[in-house]
Chain A
Amino acid sequence: MTPAAVEMRGVELRLGRGFRLEVPELQVAQGEFVALLGPNGAGKSTLLRTVLGLLKPAAGVLRVLGEAVPALRGGALAALRRRIGYVPQLLPARSELPMTLREVVAIGRTARAGLGRRLRPEDWAVVDAWLERLGLAGLAARTFAELSGGEQRKALLARAMTQEPELLLLDEPAANLDLGWREQLVTTLEALYGQTRLTVVLVCHELEVLPPACHRVVWLENGRPTATGTPEEIFHDERVCQLYGEGLLTVHAGGRHAVVPANTVRHGSTGRAAGEQDHAGA
């Protein structure tokens, strides 16, 4: 039996005095595309950082790619992280840095090349291939600060992919993107998964960001996973009504999902109004 890419059992972690992450059971199978969703402060990013070994749980079993993460130190932890691509939520904001996009993407090859060793031509070939694949080749010589927010997100995705990861962790990759860029990103993630069959854990709090490849959602609230299932199972009318208020409609079509105000839905929609039906027509 193939071991899970991520396995958490009885994991507990405290952040300061206020927040506590508790994961009684969570598994992500190899090759699976899973989304962690939940309101702000639910613990989604904390869970992701725990998987990366950036935060240490106080109790429980945490295995990532077959490694017991809490027991790893120094070089062993760094070796595990080399196998994990990570796209952080926050974009580095040092606008004066002269680093080109190509240099930023090459950071993904840095650990693989070895400490103190120069990047080889093969490493640069991987960098250039990912720039090309994500439509960034024409921007390679620009500085990171000269790119738009959407291009920067793609650059960080390219950086993660140049690591040739076995597990990809995406922390709100569509944050602050306009609709056009968000859709580009969703299309890119779908294509990427289709081509690589990589294990992906995507953190977001809008179900519009889920690509069709994502067949399982884990819903987190107050630091605990409270539900897991397909997007259709998790985002049923009652939950949407409970989360966002009445008079909203969940639309599930073509593998994509959205929550929209019921009174904006035109004829032909496949969705149903959350809460009372008369709100949908209001």
Chain B
Amino acid sequence: MPGLDLMFWAPVMAGGAVAGASSGLLGTFIVGMRIPFLGVCVAHAALAGAVFGGLAGLEGPALLGPALGAAVVTALVLGLADPQRTRLDDNTVLSFLFSATMGLAFLGIGLYGILGKSDHDVRGLLWGNLNFCRWPDVRRMLAAALMLGGYVAVFFKELRAVMFSRADAEAAGIRARAVWAGFLVLTAATLTVNFQTVGGLMIYSLTSNPAAAAFQLTRGCGRALGLSALFGAVSGLGGFLLAAATDLPSGAVIVLVSSALLGGAVVWRRWRS
């Protein structure tokens, strides 16, 4: 910690905080809708897109395009699937999408070997590495987070109704499907951008734990949203600082900090009641 080179580590800290805050923000609705698996599902769809983009000859930041495309398509399939018509619960659809996109991703990675190409870039995407986060990455993450935040601010009351019950929201004349689909597209974009930097496991923990912790501690959708974003940022930044101070792997510590926040929130709520 005393030898921390701020010039080098500043984008890492900013990246951790932004990824945590945006994941916490969208996590409020994802956990509220009981589809926490969405984060990891979209992340694997993005991976599949990047893998096939790589096979098509794309490299480096250009892989973001196919990754984003695959993530958005996957999110839209979930958003537009009508549970009444498909007779499938959202989590069942997610399970199908997750296994299908993961299967595609690993098929593609297998093809790299068969075709004699290096899969280094795409393997890096699978796990991510916050320590290599640079300012261009932070700018992309911030842009996605601001778009998501703006969307949530504009359609807050509609998203709140969808979170309570999508079917009831439709029945009340709310354009629930369109608003939810728009949210999922921005969620896919945010997670894809974050995924390149922080990896799938951290995304899963940062979309689930901060929101679940906020739900334990507060009443009211707006407060939960703010607290969840704050917990996400604290997990991302605090986890990194803790890792730097103890010389432990940052990703693992960030995940553990967000888990500890949830555990602490559960204990606090039980103690208070």
Q: Give the interface of A toward B (CB within 8 A).
A: 52, 54, 74-75, 78-84, 86, 88, 92, 94, 96-100, 103-104, 106-108, 110-111, 113, 115-116, 118-119, 141-144, 159, 163
What are the 4 closest A-B residue pairs judged by CB atoms, nearest first? A81-B173, A82-B173, A111-B173, A92-B165
Q: Name the residue on B nearest A107 (C-beta).
A: B161
The answer to whether B221 and A103 touch across the interface, beta carbons within 8 angstroms, is yes
- A99-B165 Cα distance, complex, nearest whole Å: 12
The answer to whether B173 and A100 touch across the interface, beta carbons within 8 angstroms, is no
10 contacts between A and B (CB under 8 A): A81-B171, A97-B163, A99-B160, A99-B221, A104-B164, A106-B157, A107-B172, A110-B172, A116-B155, A119-B157
Chain B interface size, under 10 / 10 to 19 / 20 to 34 / 35 or more: 20 to 34
Give the secondary structure class of B's interface. Answer: helix
The answer to whether B172 and A98 touch across the interface, beta carbons within 8 angstroms, is no
Q: A94-B32, A97-B215, A107-B160 are in contact. Are A79 and B221 (CB under 8 A)?
A: no
Q: Give the interface of B toward A (CB within 8 A).
A: 31-32, 34, 84, 154-158, 160-161, 163-165, 167-175, 179, 212, 214-215, 218-221, 223-224
Q: A92-B164, A118-B157 are in contact. Are A81 and B219 (CB under 8 A)?
A: no
Q: A86-B172, A100-B221 are in contact. List 4 more A-B contacts (CB 8 A).
A: A74-B175, A97-B163, A110-B157, A143-B219
Closest chain A CB from B39 CB (angstroms): 17
- A144-B221 Cα distance, complex, nearest whole Å: 12
Count contacts between A and B, CB distance < 8 Å. Answer: 98
B-chain residues with CB within 8 Å of residue A106 when the two chains form the complex: 157
Closest chain B CB from A272 CB (angstroms): 41
Give the secondary structure class of A's interface. Answer: mixed
B-chain residues with CB within 8 Å of residue A142 when the two chains form the complex: 219
Point out the residue from B170, B173, B219, B223 that lies within 8 Å of A80, measured CB to CB: B173
Q: Name the residue on B nearest A106 (C-beta).
A: B157
B-chain residues with CB within 8 Å of residue A115 when the two chains form the complex: 155, 158, 175, 179
Q: A78-B174, A81-B171, A92-B168 are in contact. Are A110 and B220 (CB under 8 A)?
A: no
The answer to whether A88 and B167 touch across the interface, beta carbons within 8 angstroms, is yes
- A97-B173 Cα distance, complex, nearest whole Å: 22
Q: Name the residue on A nearest B179 (C-beta).
A: A115
Q: Name the residue on A nearest B228 (C-beta).
A: A98
